[in-house]
Amino acid sequence: MSEGRGINACEESHDLGLSSFPEERQNIDIGQQIFCNSAVNMNSIVAVGFDMDYTLAQYKPETFESLAYYGTVEKLVRNLGYPKELLEWSFDWTYMVRGLVLDKKRGNILKMDRHKYVKIAYHGFRLLSKDEKVATYGNTFIKDAFDGPDYAHIDTFFSLAESYLFAQLVDYKDNNPGQISEVKDYSRIYADVRSAVDMCHRDGTLKEMVAKDPKKYINEDDTIIPMLKMLKSSGRTVFLVTNSLWDYTHVVMNFLIEARTINSSSSLSSNWLQYFDFVITGSAKPSFFHDKNRADLFAVETESGKLINTDNGTPLAQVGGPAAELPDQIPNKHYKVFQGGNVSHLHKLLNVGSSSQVLYVGDHIYGDILRSKKALGWRTMFIVPELEKEARILSSSSETRKKLKLLRGERDKIEDQVHHLKWSLEHEDMDNSEKEKLIAKLELLEGYRARVRAAHQEAQRSFHQQIMKAGFQNSRFAHQVERFACLYTSQVGNLGLYSPNKYYRPVENFMVHESNVLSL
């Protein structure tokens, strides 16, 4: 496999265009490539938007997720009455991966394939046996969609620490009867964890710590400015839509763009705004992407943080009356920083002819990608930092993958022979001597089948830590990426490695029968 192209890498355009790193365009490492599910012609893109948290600002898991974990534990103990010994617990930030599903009712953590079949299941940190897994999730007349209130999807980085804590609490409840109130079942425990997380966000605990020392919690990234300059120079409107409020957004963007911090000798600056045409804070995504969301749009005075009503007294809709129309033009258009509003406000600011002229880059499959593409028809780019690690595994595991393919083929062949022999023994007339020979052959084959199956399962186990794989199948997470992300890549700065006028094209898709024929 060539590193310059990679699996499902977008076809290279001959349009030279502008590029922040033109010398690197011809040999982009697989971990930095942009991958294409649905064609995106950048010549048709008028506006490019970004989320901030975990998109432009990549948080350090070893510090930020630990901060979230220990803050949540403290709230559980101090505010919700959990045992003080929880304060002595430790956190392994490498353990959880995105794409998992929590079964809140049973205290289980699941990894599913693209068809929503459970491939791996843990109760707390205990791996469920195949029999336990099948008995719980495979013996029903109606297939579970895993989307109801009894389940929680771990699709964001913010959810990893709470998932780990939930698993610890499940084990603690099982192993220490009476230490957690009997009225608190697994679902109640999960609700308490969520409440504790919300407390950390509401009282500003997390963001205050990050604001004091952003370098401790946020990765520095020198590819962001060249990428933003490239987009601006190419004539695109560049915007930022974040759920964070202005005060925190200002701190984070100062650190990312100018390495300024609250405690540095130089005060915070608004110079970073030169790289954006519009900034919308406090957007409350994903509801922001619904034009029926009647949230008011306020302009933000960047020096004071004061909010200014942009609707100039536009009347609210009366109960039972017609919906109030948004004004054709948003007053005070010289402001570039806003708070709240909805996508209709943003479209007016951007002055785009259609939603397909917008490319939005984010890290949240539901809050950023699914809603903006499915509800609006925006073009989307999904940021998957794990891709860099997955690409390295992919590059180093070619022999393991070949072995898996051979073992699967061998299993199929052996099982076909076993089934044929069993059928012959049950349905064909034969003398005792011939029957004994077939029985002996069957015993040999079944022993061989067991060894091949064990070898196959062992070889397959190394792929369970990848977010894009669940055994031999693509994972549920990968399926969502494929369905809703037009493009996906590991870091937002990778946009700067390609021409801003590039035509991203997907490679040809194959049905299984086509792949089998073409591989001959």
Angle among Cα 209, 278, 44 to the nearest 5 degrees reads: 125
171 annotated ligand binder = no
- What are the CA-CA distances from residue 366 to residues 68, 270, 356, 373, 383 (Å)? 21, 31, 19, 10, 13
Among residues 29, 53, 131, 368, the one annotated as catalytic is 53
Rg of the chain (C-alpha set): 27
Active site residue 15: no
Among residues 51, 103, 155, 368, the one annotated as catalytic is 51
Query: Alpha-carbon distance 479 to 119, whole Å?
Result: 15
Name residue, tokens 């350090």: 60
CB atoms within 10 A of CB 93: 17
- Among 456, 450, 454, smallest CA distance to 404 is for 456
What order of strands is seen across the sheet that includes strand 118-123?
126-127, 118-123, 108-112, 100-103, 151-154
- What are the CA-CA distances from residue 59 to residues 39, 65, 381, 397 (Å)? 30, 8, 19, 28
* Cβ neighbourhood burial of 505 (10 Å; 0-12, 13-18, 19+): middle
Active site residue 51: yes
- Among 202, 218, 147, 265, smallest CA distance to 385 is for 218
Q: What are phi and psi of 337, to 5 degrees?
A: -115, 130
155 annotated ligand binder = no
CB 462 within 8 A of CB 14: no
363 annotated ligand binder = yes
- What are the CA-CA distances from residue 55 to residues 114, 142, 205, 208, 491 (Å)? 25, 38, 21, 20, 7
- Among 18, 42, 11, smallest CA distance to 381 is for 42
| End-to-end C-alpha distance for the chain, whole angstroms | 18
Query: Alpha-carbon distance 192 to 268, whole Å?
Result: 37
CB 293 within 8 A of CB 345: no
> Per the omega criterion (within 30 degrees of 0), is the bond before 331 cis?
no
Residues making up the annotated binding site for Mg(2+) are: 51, 363
Residues making up the annotated binding site are: 51, 53, 363
Q: Would you please indicate which residues are annotated as catalytic (active-site) residues?
A: 51, 53
Residues making up the annotated binding site for GMP are: 53
